Chain A
Amino acid sequence: MSEELICITCPLGCHLTIERRPDNTLGVSGNRCARGVRYACEELLSPKRMVTATVRICRPFQAEAAACGETGLGSVARLPVRTSQAYPKEGVAGLLADIYRLEVTVPVKRGTVLLADYKGSGIDIIAARSLQV
């Protein structure tokens, strides 16, 4: 049985046909370069995705600021975060659920690790933006 994929390594978008051989290796055709084979192998055997999301911000003095009428229209309610590297695709839903449970107190600096070595994957969840109080 063959499977089909579109290679996304470059804009050419080769349509790949992949045969799973009995010895558990893959036979790739339709690729115009070696990167197509690499893409097909990774996408079929261990697909990974970069995950970006946001987490809740906890502002220590938010209540007071609001009372003073300083709720600026440009205020930011969520801190963007990302995985330090691509994460196994099948675990993305669980990872997102854990990210949404996070809460970060500002100030926070870009690159701060918010969740280290998530589930032993070696992948961190890091802040993608610096935010002041």
Chain B
Amino acid sequence: MHGGSDIFDVCIVGAGVSGANIARRLSAYDLKVVLVDKEADVSFGVSKANSGIVHGGFHHNKKYLKARLELQGAMMFERLRQELDFPFKRCGIVVAAMHEDEMRAIEQLYMQGVDNGVIGIEMCSRDRIMELEPKLNPDTVGGLWVPGGGIVEPYRFVFSLVENAISNGVVLQTTFAVSAGLRDGDAWRVEAADGRSLQARYVVNAAGLYADQVSAIFGAEQFAIQPRKGEYYLLDRLTKARPDRVVFPVPTSVSKGMLVIPTVEGTVLIGPTAESATDKRDLATTRAQLDKILSSARAMIPAISEYDVITSFAGLRPILDEDFYIAMSAKVPNLVQVAGIQSPGLTASPAIGEYVKDLLKKAGLKLSEKPEYDPFVVKRPHVKELSPYEVDELVAQDPAWANMVCRCEKVSEAEIVAAVRAGHTTLDGVKYFTRAQMGRCQGGFCTYKIIKIIMRETGLSWDQVSKNGDRSRILKDTL
């Protein structure tokens, strides 16, 4: 370790899926790494609201960096899941053609997939595709089957990456909104809006929607990130419309289209739309777009019913160019740009971690493997996944395992306490970490209990409990 020195080797700006993968990858080496994020918790930006797909490697030509990283990243998920214990399943992807004309586009996707080296990709007749996904509209004429595609819970993936990075020595600083980046000797001084500051030899700009602003703050390249909004509906786990595979329509030139996604946790996600937005904080859903999602999803899976909707939400993708922009800054020293990480960013993110590590090495960062590096997180039990007999054993250690707080998603008090103690001290943080409030009642029954647990575990007073940070306080007064 670097005894005595207060200077970090690397400061990663942005604790989304890119920053988290980079941090965790660097934590294998004898380095001092700090991960900073402007939000109250990690994964609160682009990474929290997306489709949660491990893509199949057939949508993009491999002349693009994003396609190569997608193919490479997709292969890394089995191992990551073993190490990091996050929800991931290779359920496969079907692309459904609703008309004979669309079969030509399917064929092109197939050729591109074969060219990219996608394993197991096949063209399907109507019978074959209906066998693979019986919930499809009987009018489906055929399609594409990509067995390697999968589904992942994106925020749980980020939480696990960050947890593992922290246990391997990475320092996390939340509510750290970078306001200045100045050269200070041969290092960067990174300042936050609240007055905190730190020094680091290298800076990685993985600031998602705000990568353009962060680049400007450091005096690096000028570019503009355009937000593109995607709206989604979430359906109850008891819906009759849940498919076994991720169902894609035939893509258009701008978007992969609106999907039907059987999430790893058992609910069904439909969406996203793709609309240019102007405001990077505009996560509003609109009636017109939401209606579009329902009709588009029903065209592929007719059993989808609006009565199964439990919530809707929107996410923003950071659009820069056709491709990812991952490179050393040509303008300022020792700064890596990781910008424009839109789809398939989640799939590519483990490979982005590798790629950025290699860039830093080429730029002179000394990487020596740390013998004590432990790639595993401690597996956390989830009551929902355990048999009563297994829960009975946990109860012997802590009765809170049998105190059910969230009835819809079956989350015990012990799991909520663990989330809060792991630093997820907002209602949204608890929600994404444990799924409590994420089910059909959307927190109607359990919110007051979670507020009480947060207050009890953190010592926060009633007026400090928030949805997702200081500006979103839950309670206004006390009697």
The answer to A–B direct touch (Cβ < 8 A) is: yes
CA distance A56 to B479 in the complex (A): 8
Residue from A54, A73, A78 within 8 A of B449 (CB atoms):
A73
Quick check: B405 and A73 within 8 Å, CB to CB?
yes
Quick check: B456 and A100 within 8 Å, CB to CB?
no
Quick check: A71 and B452 within 8 Å, CB to CB?
yes
Residues on the A chain within 8 Å of B37, using CB? none
Residues on the A chain within 8 Å of B452, using CB? 71, 73, 75
Quick check: B449 and A100 within 8 Å, CB to CB?
no
CA distance A75 to B455 in the complex (A): 14
Kindly name the residue among A54, A56, A73, A78 whose own CB sees the greatest number of chain B CB atoms within 10 A.
A73
Quick check: B479 and A54 within 8 Å, CB to CB?
yes
Given the known interface contacts A71-B452, A73-B449, A73-B452, the answer about A100 and B405 at a Cβ–Cβ threshold of 8 Å is no
Quick check: A73 and B453 within 8 Å, CB to CB?
yes
Residue of B nearest to A71 (CB): B456
Sort chain A's interface into a size bin.
Answer: under 10
Residue of A nearest to B413 (CB): A73
Chain A 75-101 per-residue mask, 1 if CB under 8 angstroms from chain B, else 0: 100100000000000000000000010
Residues on the B chain within 8 Å of A78, using CB? 479
Q: Within the complex, what minimum Cβ distance (angstroms) separates B313 from chain A?
A: 27
Q: Within the complex, what minimum Cβ distance (angstroms) separates B414 from chain A?
A: 12
List A residues 37-70 near B (Cβ within 8 Å). 54, 56
Residues on the B chain within 8 Å of A54, using CB? 479
List B residues 449-479 near A (Cβ within 8 Å). 449, 452-453, 456, 479
Q: Within the complex, what minimum Cβ distance (angstroms) separates B426 from chain A?
A: 18
Q: Within the complex, what minimum Cβ distance (angstroms) separates A38 from chain B?
A: 36
Quick check: B413 and A100 within 8 Å, CB to CB?
no
Given the known interface contacts A73-B405, A73-B413, the answer about A100 and B479 at a Cβ–Cβ threshold of 8 Å is yes
Chain B 429-450 per-residue mask, 1 if CB under 8 angstroms from chain A, else 0: 0000000000000000000010
CA distance A78 to B448 in the complex (A): 14
Residue of B nearest to A53 (CB): B479
Residues on the B chain within 8 Å of A71, using CB? 452, 456
Residue of B nearest to A66 (CB): B456
Residues on the A chain within 8 Å of B453, using CB? 73
Q: Within the complex, what minimum Cβ distance (angstroms) separates B453 from chain A?
A: 7
CA distance A100 to B479 in the complex (A): 8
Residues on the B chain within 8 Å of A56, using CB? 479
Q: Within the complex, what minimum Cβ distance (angstroms) separates A119 from chain B?
A: 22
Residues on the A chain within 8 Å of B413, using CB? 73
CA distance A73 to B457 in the complex (A): 12
Q: Within the complex, what minimum Cβ distance (angstroms) separates A128 from chain B?
A: 16
Residues on the B chain within 8 Å of A100, using CB? 479
Residues on the A chain within 8 Å of B449, using CB? 73
Kindly name the residue among A54, A71, A78 whose own CB sees the greatest number of chain B CB atoms within 10 A.
A71
CA distance A73 to B436 in the complex (A): 15
List B residues 128-163 near A (Cβ within 8 Å). none
Residue of A nearest to B446 (CB): A73
CA distance A100 to B456 in the complex (A): 26
Residue of A nearest to B405 (CB): A73
CA distance A130 to B403 in the complex (A): 25
Residues on the A chain within 8 Å of B405, using CB? 73
Kindly name the residue among B403, B413, B456, B479 whose own CB sees the greatest number of chain A CB atoms within 10 A.
B479
CA distance A78 to B452 in the complex (A): 15
CA distance A75 to B413 in the complex (A): 15
Q: Within the complex, what minimum Cβ distance (angstroms) separates B230 from chain A?
A: 36
CA distance A121 to B24 in the complex (A): 72
Q: Within the complex, what minimum Cβ distance (angstroms) separates B465 from chain A?
A: 14
Residues on the B chain within 8 Å of A75, using CB? 452
Residues on the A chain within 8 Å of B479, using CB? 54, 56, 78, 100
CA distance A71 to B454 in the complex (A): 12
CA distance A121 to B263 in the complex (A): 62
Q: Within the complex, what minimum Cβ distance (angstroms) separates B393 from chain A?
A: 22
Residue of A nearest to B456 (CB): A71
CA distance A23 to B284 in the complex (A): 61
Q: Within the complex, what minimum Cβ distance (angstroms) separates A116 from chain B?
A: 23
Q: Within the complex, what minimum Cβ distance (angstroms) separates B444 from chain A?
A: 15
Residue of B nearest to A100 (CB): B479
Residue of B nearest to A55 (CB): B479
A-B residue pairs in contact (CB < 8 Å), sample of 13:
A54-B479, A56-B479, A71-B452, A71-B456, A73-B403, A73-B405, A73-B413, A73-B449, A73-B452, A73-B453, A75-B452, A78-B479, A100-B479
Known: A73-B403, A73-B413. 11 other contacts (CB 8 A): A54-B479, A56-B479, A71-B452, A71-B456, A73-B405, A73-B449, A73-B452, A73-B453, A75-B452, A78-B479, A100-B479
A-binding residues in B (CB < 8 A): 403, 405, 413, 449, 452-453, 456, 479
The 5 closest A-B pairs by CB, nearest first: A73-B449, A73-B452, A71-B456, A78-B479, A54-B479
B-binding residues in A (CB < 8 A): 54, 56, 71, 73, 75, 78, 100
